[in-house]
Structure 1
């Protein structure tokens, strides 16, 4: 019996698989010797049987080792964060330069928009000339020289994951915690990290809608990553409303630049400081999470993070003077339309996923993989939950390229924004797993 057939038989019987078999399977995914039928059977078997903790760790490491694994020789810890996705979530653009300003090295391998959520790479590519696809040698040099780089994954980074992810998408096996965990961590661990913090989103704008779902994913990620040798913690954070009042690529970059250049207090700054503080503490760059959060906040309010961001922009092909004159460089939509409250009351809740999909329909995301992105479109000035509005007052602004698209987005926002009684206050940081 072939090693893959033996692995599938063990999985069918609910038996442990073992490190050697999973290593061989991951290599087979990467080199094509494992067929699509076998990969699909494996994915369905994991959904139905669930892996042991030891096999979950082994699968993660096997997928990591299916391609290139970066090794660093740097004078300070190599650290990073990962978000499970939300709306108005532009933390990476603020946190990466703040971490670099605090002495860490941040080789951030990021993704594009997925479903209703935006992608860090799409946001950065709204900056003229900015390149997210770097050669490995240039990636390493950019991190060494500037303390950070934010790039797309190379074809040789965890190729087993790329193959298995495509199979999961067409076999209805995306939701498996074991497979989600291996997919996320195999790519992050391949970047050679010493410490990682996870931002696990929870709420209507996240993939995980309930606290129980978010906690289960966070526990799986934290336990697996730590067993794989990377010091990892997680924060479960609120995504019942957008993190910033803008959704869309250039609009979210504007929010980040406003925070970087003014240091103004906001939900974005609060969550960035909390995540960064935990990570600095885990990497021994701060005494404890509170001390680390204070360091992150100081790096931002002092302008040091803005300087680090400017270095990265220049190193990756962006314009000189972007940080000083960012509004001049970012694209703007042809049409800006106010969405007016249909009645008086408080903003009681948002359907976050619907808001995200409204931005996708405007052209700010992809409905199929080959779609191009309109970086200028989206929503801005979205009122926070609990805000009191009068009938006819604006609750958001739409940025669109066509009148028909603006009208469609207006209908979507009115359907997604619920006006009634004021909701109970919700903390931004719901739980911490270390």
Structure 2
């Protein structure tokens, strides 16, 4: 069935629902180049302004999903479960999480992305490990997953090609913020991965894409509904992203911290979120009698999976990680309680040091980043190091320090802090 693109645009412009047939035709025609970029731009803006119903979002996601291939893990002996984070500062959770869940009996096919702007990317972090490969064929993915229980790699071009095309368009047309389009973009790729269960880490706060809990909740609810409507057991945790996770921001630095967590140590917040998400993933996969993730971190079994997983993708888990050529300490201007450490300011500073990229094709400096020596609630003394900036080029320090202006506050007591895990949505 063929439609007219202008009629489809008018339907959504006039706040009416698109039919299933209209949606199927639109996604197919856009993928094939029948619908012009300016027409899809107009439709995306109409969706941003007028929204979509649950039925429309489910069908839109399904149409994007059907534009490409779908992974099949039915031959595995373990149930599959996956996690997706909407992105934050210092969010290295996938690194300890995937091997921990695998150590507890599930299979974790984790297709991850690269960082853009102030938020880091899982693949960028792992690529700081000498020899590690992000790009695997479907056969290689299955082999690693079958051998180790977990694989973290780049999504192939065959998954949801309609989304890849639409994502690039949204980025240049001011329609990135549309919750139906965000939700369908994320979920079309995640469902295409073929996982049986999915846990979403939807972040809210200054360092997150969604600044408010209200918008984060709406996004989480929409994605959970999409997963449920497609037969994937889906749950979401809303988590706070006002302060960076852990004590490191930057690729190699975050790998090092993740290994600390896998060794049974590491920062409390990273451990808390890793364990909470792992328990949700195991429960969603139906493994209610599995080993507790906290025990897998303590007894070394999660570390064993990590080492095997890294080696299976060509990496050397014992190789030294990149170290920055230059460092610069940021000192406390006064004594008191560190009352605020703004995630966005720290994320932008790390980006300017070279840890992130402004465009998808830009390289990253794997050794660049920030080590935090204090977190909100800590007592600090004037002149005490609050953080250490790492960069290969010392000329980057000035712009990074400018990003930190106003990001640190010291007072008589800590500001009221939200819990790390704000809500659970199922």
Band the TM-score falls in, shorter-chain normalisation = over 0.9
1:270 aligns with 2:272: yes
What are the Cα deviations for residues 9-68 of structure 1, in whole angstroms up to 9, with x where unaligned? 322332222223222222223222222122112201111221111010001111111111
1:372 corresponding residue in structure 2: 363
Cα distance change, pair 40–318 in 1 and its aligned pair in 2 (3 A) = same
Q: Select 1:225's aligned residue among 214, 224, 227.
A: 227
**Count of residues in Structure 1 that have an aligned counterpart in Structure 2:** 423
1:16 aligns with 2:7: no
Instruction: Give 3-state SS (helix, strand or coil) of 1:58's partner.
Output: helix
Q: Map of 1:163-178 to 2, 5 A cutoff?
A: 163-178=165-180
**Where does structure 1 differ by over 6 angstroms across 4 or more consecutive aligned residues?**
none
1:418 corresponding residue in structure 2: 409
1:433 corresponding residue in structure 2: 425
Q: How far, CA to CA, are the matches of 1:138 and 1:38 in structure 2?
A: 39
Cα distance change, pair 61–382 in 1 and its aligned pair in 2 (3 A) = farther
Q: How far, CA to CA, are the matches of 2:30 and 2:263 in structure 1?
A: 46
Structure 2 stretches lacking a partner, 5+ long: none
Q: CA RMSD in A?
A: 1.6
Q: How far, CA to CA, are the matches of 1:248 and 1:235 in structure 2?
A: 24
Q: Select 1:406's aligned residue among 384, 391, 397.
A: 397
1:141 corresponding residue in structure 2: 143
2:50 corresponding residue in structure 1: 49
> Please, what TM-score do these two structures have when normalized by structure 1?
0.94
Q: How far, CA to CA, are the matches of 2:266 and 2:152 in structure 1?
A: 24
Q: How far, CA to CA, are the matches of 2:204 and 2:270 in structure 1?
A: 16
1:93 corresponding residue in structure 2: 95
Q: How far, CA to CA, are the matches of 2:40 and 2:142 in structure 1?
A: 33
CA contact (8 A) 1:339 1:395 kept: yes
Q: How far, CA to CA, are the matches of 2:235 and 2:421 in structure 1?
A: 13
> Please, what TM-score do these two structures have when normalized by structure 2?
0.95
Q: Map of 1:291-330 to 2, 5 A cutoff?
A: 295-319=292-316, 322=317, 325=318, 328-330=319-321
1:345 aligns with 2:336: yes
What are the Cα deviations for residues 301-326 of structure 1, in whole angstroms up to 9, with x where unaligned? 1111111111111111102xx1xx3x
What are the Cα deviations for residues 227-254 of structure 1, in whole angstroms up to 9, with x where unaligned? 1211100111111111111100000001
Q: Select 1:200's aligned residue among 189, 197, 202.
A: 202
Instruction: Give 3-state SS (helix, strand or coil) of 1:329's partner.
Output: coil
Structure 1 stretches lacking a partner, 5+ long: none
Q: How far, CA to CA, are the matches of 1:353 and 1:419 in structure 2?
A: 17
Q: How far, CA to CA, are the matches of 2:37 and 2:399 in structure 1?
A: 40
Q: How far, CA to CA, are the matches of 2:265 and 2:379 in structure 1?
A: 26
